[in-house]
Copies of this chain bind each other. A is one copy, B any other.
Amino acid sequence: MSERRRKFWGWGYEGDGISDSEAAAVASRLAAAFGADAVRDRQPPRLEDLDLRAPRVAPPLALAEVFTDAPHERASHAYGKSYRDLARAWRGEAPNPPDLVALPAGEDDIVRVLEWAANERVAVVPYGGGSSVVGGVEPEVGDEYRGAVSLDLRRLDRVLDVDTESRAALIEAGVYGPRLEAELRPHDLTLRHFPQSFEFSSLGGWIATRSGGHYATLYAHIDEFVESLRVVTPRGVLETRRLPASGAGPSPERLFCGSEGTLGVITQAWMRLQDRPRARAGATVSFPDFLAGARGVRAVAQAGLHPANCRLIDPVEALLAGAGDGSSALLILAFESPGHDVAPWLEAALELCREQGGTVEPPRERSGADDDRAGAWRRTFLRMPYVYERVVGFGMVNGTFETAITWDRFADFHEGVSSELAKRTNEICGGAIVSVRFTYVYPDGPAPYYTVTAPARDGSELAQWDELKAAVSDAIVGLGGTITHHHAVGREHRPWYEQEAAPLFQEALRGAKRELDPAGILNPGVLIDP
């Protein structure tokens, strides 16, 4: 199998992306919103134009076959896929490339790389699919290290064992979404974890960042599906026991969910799987506005119905998605099961929506073969990063703010964040398209997700974004939200994580890290200081 090369500057493989005509359509929509002058016409960056500093460390001979310093690999591992990352790539800037990229063939290689790195005081940045939008994989490790290695787990990509009775599988951490699902399909099982990064993100990355997946309720985070973990730390290998549940001390898996590569390198996990759904029932409900929709969502979330999909989009987002005329908020509701009819679930949810002023659109989906429709939606959803890379190329600031907040504070919170977004995008960019949706909902509160697209001035787009990001993040955390529901902390969210997380909890984490990573080589700069 010849390996296709990933774009170092954008999403997916070289050569893949939206077509020229699609790009032109995007450009003209942006021009209509912000004026033709706001839309720049640039060619994607080329590797040879990238300012890539020379490696500062050389691999030891014994590990020569594990490491590479090929420029394309180093450039590809120089950042993730946040707005800052793409904007810098389009500008030809890669300030923190790894000195080396390690491509271990197995756990032994990882053990040896960590041993060498600890001895040589080289930082190690665990790398899955590289889809971090929070600076989680950029080797910006500070001057205390002689160099930095990006540890890419893509060669650990097998499903090692499938237990159909318990519906679980032992899976290597480096596998990307599509291959993982392809290996489970013959067993009629699925992880059903479809973050937007699905195509180019890995199981280990999902776990390390507490990724959000397919389920809008109940099983929002990947955490719920982790049965056990295997983790290589600089002190050795740690393996948790495979159990459906335990009350024996604090959950070991939960310490590693969200550890973002700072405590160890996740190499394998037993994951809880689902039957492939055979019955579905879905509907769309319109509400006069987003807050009215939020009341409907709250009623559904608190009824114990557990819809698989329960996504509320505001009128702007509905309009942009071609799913409305921009006058209503839309709630997309869906239930699924391995067999039993879920129509009663849907009916109960719709009744609650009606009580909150919702209007049920004529039913389009019912139990049965609606795989095509669901598949079409998913393909569109997963295609968004390809659009996104071009929007950045057209000179737009384009970013997201995602959070979670309890219901009692939601209305004020939403008002506060929205007005901060309006005010700051106006001040900083002279306007913006801002939309909001609920990506996940809980009985005690929603996870709002704000998307911003705004014109930027050539050359100052990073400063503009940083200013906007800081102001809105201040509002989110100041108004009681979390700095991240499912994008993780990385380096970009660090200042707000430090406000959000209890100082003594951060100390406790540091205490745990000192035991597992005494030399402090694992992903320094992320989450906590060593």
| Interface residues, chain A, with chain B CB atoms under 8 Å away | 163, 165-168, 209-212, 218, 220-221, 223, 227, 233, 235-252, 254-260, 263, 272, 275, 298, 302-306, 337-341, 344-345, 348, 351, 404-408, 440, 442-447, 480-489, 493, 497, 500-505, 507-516, 527-528
Contact = CB atoms under 8 A, between A and B. Distances in A.
Contacts of A259: 249-250
A209 B247 contact: yes
A273 B353 CA distance: 21
Contacts of A254: 250-251, 254-255
B244 A445 contact: yes
A166 B406 CA distance: 6
Contacts of A509: 249-250, 512
A443 B272 contact: yes
Contact of A507 (B167, B251, B515, B527): B515
A499 to B, nearest CB: 10
Nearest to A168: B444
Which of A235, A444, A508, A515 has the most chain B CB atoms inside 10 A of its CB?
A508
B245 A501 contact: no
B243 A250 contact: no
A260 B79 CA distance: 41
B243 A404 contact: yes
A264 to B, nearest CB: 8
Given A166-B406, A244-B406, A337-B348, 13 more contacts: A166-B408, A221-B247, A223-B251, A236-B504, A237-B504, A239-B502, A246-B500, A249-B258, A249-B260, A251-B257, A251-B258, A303-B337, A508-B516
A348 B337 CA distance: 11
Contact of A233 (B303, B485, B504, B510): B504
A260 B483 CA distance: 29
A271 B265 CA distance: 33
A245 B221 CA distance: 9
Cβ-closest 7 pairs across A and B: A244-B445, A511-B515, A340-B348, A244-B442, A511-B511, A254-B254, A246-B482
A279 to B, nearest CB: 10
Contact of A244 (B249, B275, B348, B405): B405
B406 A489 contact: no
Contacts of A245: 220-221, 404, 440, 442, 445, 447, 482, 485
A484 B248 contact: yes
A251 B509 CA distance: 11
Contacts of A341: 344, 348
B480 A241 contact: yes
Nearest to A485: B247
Given A247-B212, A248-B482, A252-B505, A167 B511 contact: no
B258 A247 contact: yes
Which of A249, A260, A305, A341 has the most chain B CB atoms inside 10 A of its CB?
A249
Nearest to A241: B500
Contact of A486 (B165, B247, B447, B516): B247
Contacts of A480: 241-242
B248 A256 contact: no
Contact of A249 (B165, B221, B405, B501): B501
Contact of A250 (B166, B255, B446): B255
Nearest to A526: B249
Contacts of A250: 254-259, 509
19 contacts: A165-B406, A166-B443, A221-B245, A235-B507, A236-B504, A241-B480, A242-B480, A243-B405, A245-B404, A248-B258, A249-B258, A249-B489, A249-B527, A263-B508, A507-B515, A508-B516, A509-B512, A511-B516, A512-B512
Contacts of A344: 341, 344-345
A236 B209 CA distance: 29
A221 B248 CA distance: 12
A438 to B, nearest CB: 11
